[in-house]
C-alpha cells in the first residue's frame, strides 16, 4: 500500500518482499503475527542510501530543511528494515535490529535462534537486506577491495579463492528465514526445511578492516560447541569468501586450522556478488537447499587456487553430489565481527 511505502526506501522494500514470501511459506496467519509470541530480528549495513543521498543533496542545494519530506529520515535510519517490517506485518513481540555490515543477517538469525532457545519467543522472523548504491561500491574501491581488472568481462569476477582474484563485486537483495521452536513446528505439522543447531559469534578486537584468521576460527569453534559436535561432524562449509586478497587467505587458513582438507568448501559470491547485509540470509537459504537436495554448488570463477590460500577441498568447476547431514555457514564483517551457523538435516 502507498501509505506503508511512504516510510520505506528500497532496502526496506526488498526486505518486505522477501519476508512476505517467507511468512507465506511458513503458513503464519495475521492472528499469529500480532499475538505477541512472534518476534523479529532483521538488519542491513545501514538504511536506504538513496534516501540519504536525496536528503543531503537537497540540504546542500537549499542550505535549509524547508520542503524536505518528513518521511525521508525514516527510510535511511539504521533500523529502517526492522521497524518497517514490524509495522507492516503487525509484529508485537521483541524486535531486534542488527547493523553489522556483512554479518547483519547472520547476527539476526543467530539472535533469533538464541531467543527461541531461551524461551522468549515461539517464532522469530529473521534476515537481512541491502540496496545497491554507488557509495557502497565506492567505499570498497577506496579500500582497494573492489574488483577492477574484469570490467570488460564482468562475468569473470568476483573470483573467491582464485589466484587472479582482485576484489569483490557489490550486489543487492534480501533473504528472510522463519525460525520456529522445533517441537512446536512438528506438533503443528509445519514444513521444516532444516534445523539450526549451533551459532557462534565473536570479535577480533584487533583491526577494523584487516581480518584475523584466529578470530574466524574461534567463531566456527563456538558454533560447533553450541551445536554440541566436533569438526568431524560437518559435511560442508559455505564460506564467506568475497574475492578479496587478504580476506580469502585469512578465511581459508581459519577453515583449514579447524577442518584440515577433509571438508568440501565453496563460496556463493561468484554467483551472486556480495550482497553485504543480506548475504547471511540469502546464502543460508541456498545452503539449506543444498543440504536438503544433496549437492554442493561450486565456487564460480575459481580456476586456480591462490598460492597463499590454505589447501582446502575447494569445490570448483562443477557442482558436486554429496550426502550432507550437517553443514556450516560462515559470514565475516568489517570491525572483525565473525559469525558461524551450524545447520542439520531433518
Q: What is the mean pLDDT of each run of 10 residues along the chain (346 residues)?
A: 83 98 97 96 96 90 81 95 98 97 98 98 98 95 96 98 98 99 96 98 97 98 99 99 98 99 99 98 99 99 98 98 99 98 99
Q: What is the pLDDT of residue 1?
A: 61
Q: What is the pLDDT of residue 66?
A: 78
| Domains 1-132+171-192 and 193-346 alike in fold | yes
Give the residue extent of every domain in the chain. Answer: 1-132+171-192, 193-346
Kindly report the CATH class assigned to 193-346. alpha beta
Residue 247 near residue 140 (C-beta atoms within 8 A):
no
Q: Which of 79, 88, 97, 102 is catalytic?
A: 102
Q: What is the pLDDT of residue 67?
A: 74
Q: Which of 79, 88, 133, 240 is catalytic?
A: 240
User: So what's the architecture of 1-132+171-192 in CATH?
Assistant: 3-Layer(aba) Sandwich (3.40)
Beta carbons within 8 Å of 84's beta carbon, 6+ residues apart:
4, 7, 8, 12, 15, 16, 74
The residue to which cell 537481512 is assigned? 128
∠ CA 84-104-177, nearest 5°, is 70
Give the H or E element holding residue 104. helix 104-117
Q: What is the pLDDT of residue 163?
A: 99
Q: Which of 88, 136, 274, 329 is catalytic?
A: 274
Residue 24 near residue 130 (C-beta atoms within 8 A):
no
Q: Where are the alpha helices (DSSP H) in 118-202?
A: 134-142, 182-187
102 is catalytic: yes
Q: What is the pLDDT of residue 104?
A: 99
Residue 81 near residue 281 (C-beta atoms within 8 A):
no
Q: For residue 233, how many other CB atoms are within 10 A of its CB?
A: 15
240 is catalytic: yes
Q: What number of helices (H) and strands (E) belong to the chain?
A: 13, 12
Q: What is the pLDDT of residue 59?
A: 87
Q: What is the pLDDT of residue 2?
A: 64
Cell numbers for 315? 569445490
Q: What is the pLDDT of residue 16?
A: 98
Amino acid at each position: 500500500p502507498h501509505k506503508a511505502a511512504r516510510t520505506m526506501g528500497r532496502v526496506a522494500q526488498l526486505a518486505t518482499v522477501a519476508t512476505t514470501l517467507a511468512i507465506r511459506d511458513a503458513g503464519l496467519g495475521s492472528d499469529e503475527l500480532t499475538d505477541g509470541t512472534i518476534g523479529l530480528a532483521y538488519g542491513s549495513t545501514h538504511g536506504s542510501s538513496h534516501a540519504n543521498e536525496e536528503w543531503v543533496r537537497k540540504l546542500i542545494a537549499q542550505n535549509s530543511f524547508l520542503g524536505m519530506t518528513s518521511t525521508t529520515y525514516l527510510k535511511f535510519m539504521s533500523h529502517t528494515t526492522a521497524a518497517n517490517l514490524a509495522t507492516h506485518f503487525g509484529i508485537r513481540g521483541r524486535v531486534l535490529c542488527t547493523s553489522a555490515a556483512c554479518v547483519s543477517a547472520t547476527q539476526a538469525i543467530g539472535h533469533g535462534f538464541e531467543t527461541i532457545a531461551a524461551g522468549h519467543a515461539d517464532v522469530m522472523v529473521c534476515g537481512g537486506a541491502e540496496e545497491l548504491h554507488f557509495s557502497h561500491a565506492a567505499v570498497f574501491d577506496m579500500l582497494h577491495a573492489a574488483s577492477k581488472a574484469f570490467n570488460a568481462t564482468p562475468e569473470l569476477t568476483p573470483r573467491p579463492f582464485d589466484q587472479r582474484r582482485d576484489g569483490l563485486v557489490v550486489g543487492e537483495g534480501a533473504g528472510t528465514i522463519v525460525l520456529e521452536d522445533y517441537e512446536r513446528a512438528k506438533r503443528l505439522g509445519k514444513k521444516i526445511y532444516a534445523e539450526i543447531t549451533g551459532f557462534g559469534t565473536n570479535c577480533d578486537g584487533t583491526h577494523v578492516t584487516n581480518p584475523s584468521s584466529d578470530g574466524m576460527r574461534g567463531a566456527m569453534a563456538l558454533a560447533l560447541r553450541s551445536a554440541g559436535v566436533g569438526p568431524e561432524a560437518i559435511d560442508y562449509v559455505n564460506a564467506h569468501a568475497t574475492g578479496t586478497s587478504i580476506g580469502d587467505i585469512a578465511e581459508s587458513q581459519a577453515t583449514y586450522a579447524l577442518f584440515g582438507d577433509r571438508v568440501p568448501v565453496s563460496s556463493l559470491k561468484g554467483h551472486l556478488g556480495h550482497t553485504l547485509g543480506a548475504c547471511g540470509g540469502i546464502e543460508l537459504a541456498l545452503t539449506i537447499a543444498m543440504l536438503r537436495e544433496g549437492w554442493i554448488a561450486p565456487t564460480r570463477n575459481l580456476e586456480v587456487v591462490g598460492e597463499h590460500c590454505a589447501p582446502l577441498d575447494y569445490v570448483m568447476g562443477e557442482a558436486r553430489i554429496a550426502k550432507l547431514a550437517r553443514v556450516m555457514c560462515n559470514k565475516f564483517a568489517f570491525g572483525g565481527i565473525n559469525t558461524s551457523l551450524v545447520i542439520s538435516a531433518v
